[in-house]
Amino acid sequence: MTTTLAPDLLPAATLTGDRLAARHAPLRTLLSRIRAGELLLTLPDGRQVRATGALPGPQAQLQLHRWRALLRLLLEGDLGLAFSHRDGNWSSPDLTALLSLGLANEAALGGVTDARGPARWLAQLFHRARANTRRGSRHNIAFHYDLGNAFYARWLDHTMLYSSALFENEGDTLEAAQAQRLDRIAQLLDLRPGMRVLEIGCGWGTLAATLAQRCGVEVVGVTLSTEQLAFARERAAQWGVADRVDLRLQDYRDVEGRFDRIVSIEMIEAVGEAYWPTYFAALRERLAPGGVAVLQAITIDEAHFQHYRDNPDFIQRCIFPGGMLPTPERMAREAQRAGLSFSTEARFGRGYALTLAEWRRRFLAEWPAIEAQGFDEAFKRLWTYYLSYCEAGFLDGRIDVGLYRLG
């Protein structure tokens, strides 16, 4: 028989180094709650404190440049931590390890990453204000995707695929892993020449052009990003499939007609919970009899969904306004309500962690060229945090990515 101790029954973290003064009692209390892993904290005056938990876990470092970072964490939670990093109030040589340490100790830390009072209400109001109506969706998509094709081209690979790759072999490059994912999607779609395919959220057009070129199908692709549309049309022309790829600046709710196949890659995250029934109804209405839809979706674990719903996070505020991750269970229910069968074909969350790590490496390597486009240091810190934040979530397992088949 194995007994698991609750976090509050485990020994307090061992603190070594500087003896924190009485005025730093809240910080000492916070550090003592660490149950797994180790944190080396460097204070603004250069003194160091090491907090070591009783359980194994991530080894992380945090350099506190200004005390205000702690105040923002205590008042604004997750958002305050992100904003204070953006503003240069703290740093870490390994953001992913630090954020992973936070996730490993989340229960023991007692909700320190939750916003409080007015900060929480404002976060909820901001999120609700970015609802994905037709007009709202255009603004939300433009906020992220219209930063410029030149920006994304600096750190995505040549495919311009901005979704998780599928790493099947040890040592796969990002390019090889993206090619493997395209192959898997094509296999699940089971295409035959002459079929009509709808891609909801066609991005920079690589999947649409690939399916038209490789499988001899006709593809209608819709996006709300003017930047992506221009690139996608140019790519279709360069690849010689412009006559078989119809790319449009159009909301998925306004598409008409029936299609033999529908594919939608990491688009449901931008739909918004209120519009999940509309999205799945659109899939059903646009599918021809006997048709098949394939979705790639980022999901959150059901056990964390209610807390996530009640506490809009950094991603929803700073990166993807209006976004909302579904759970696999909620997707299955919405699909069934729409009259669609639903099956999970593959989940590969660890592959997304690898994808994000490689994107971050390329982003930092290309920073001088990105900075020359007019982006500043605050933007660099924000996006580095974003890529590490997501990587930590996938490593922890509370978020996942999968391919799903509907019919």
For residue 39, the surrounding DSSP H or E stretch is strand 36-42
CB 266 within 8 A of CB 297: yes
> Which candidate, 164, 71, 189, 47, places its Cα nearest to that of 119?
71
% of residues, the chain, pLDDT over 70 = 92
Q: Which residues are catalytic?
A: 390
At residue 118, the pLDDT reads 58
Computed over its alpha carbons, how large is the radius of gyration of the chain? 23
Rounded CA-CA distance 349/396 in Å is 9
Integer Cα distance of 268 and 326 in angstroms:
8
CA 194/CA 365 separation, integer angstroms: 43
Answer whether residue 6 shows pLDDT above 90: no
pLDDT value at position 22?
A: 54
State percent of the chain over pLDDT 90: 76
pLDDT at position 7 is 44
Q: Write out the H or E segment, with its range, that includes residue 126.
A: helix 117-129
Residue type, 348: F
Would you state the pLDDT for residue 317? Answer: 86
**Pairing status of strand 196-200 against strand 90-91:** unpaired
Q: What is the pLDDT of residue 205?
A: 97
The arithmetic mean of pLDDT across residues 360-389, rounded, is 97
CA distances, 255 to each of 222, 251, 282, 293 (Å): 8, 7, 9, 15
Average pLDDT over residues 43-61: 94
Q: What are the b/e assignments for 116-144, b being 16+ CB within 10 Å?
A: eeebbeebeeebeebbbbeebbbebbeeb
Residue 376, pLDDT above cutoff 70: yes
pLDDT above 60 (res 380): yes
pLDDT of amino acid 74: 83
| Span of 117-131, 215-229, 236-250 with lowest mean pLDDT | 117-131
- Coil, strand, or helix at residue 222? strand
Q: Which residues of 280-305 are buried (b: 16+ CB within 10 A; e: fewer)?
A: bbbbbebbeeebbbbbbbbbbbeebb
Sheet of 55-64, strand order = 14-17, 48-52, 36-42, 55-64, 90-91
pLDDT value at residue 106 = 87
Does residue 206 or residue 4 have the better pLDDT?
206
Mean pLDDT value across residues 343-348: 93
Q: What is the mean pLDDT of the chain?
A: 91
pLDDT of residue 264: 98
| pLDDT on residue 128 | 76
More confident call, 306 vs 114: 306
At residue 344, the 3 state secondary structure works out as strand
pLDDT given at position 136: 83
Q: What does the pLDDT average to over 317-334?
A: 94
Task: Please tell me the least confidently modeled range out of 100-104, 140-144, 274-278.
Answer: 140-144
Q: With bands split at pLDDT 50, 70 and 90, how would you rate the model's confidence at 108?
A: confident
- C-alpha 66/C-alpha 68 separation (Å) is 5
Average pLDDT score over residue span 266-282 = 97
Is the confidence at residue 12, as pLDDT, over 80? Answer: no
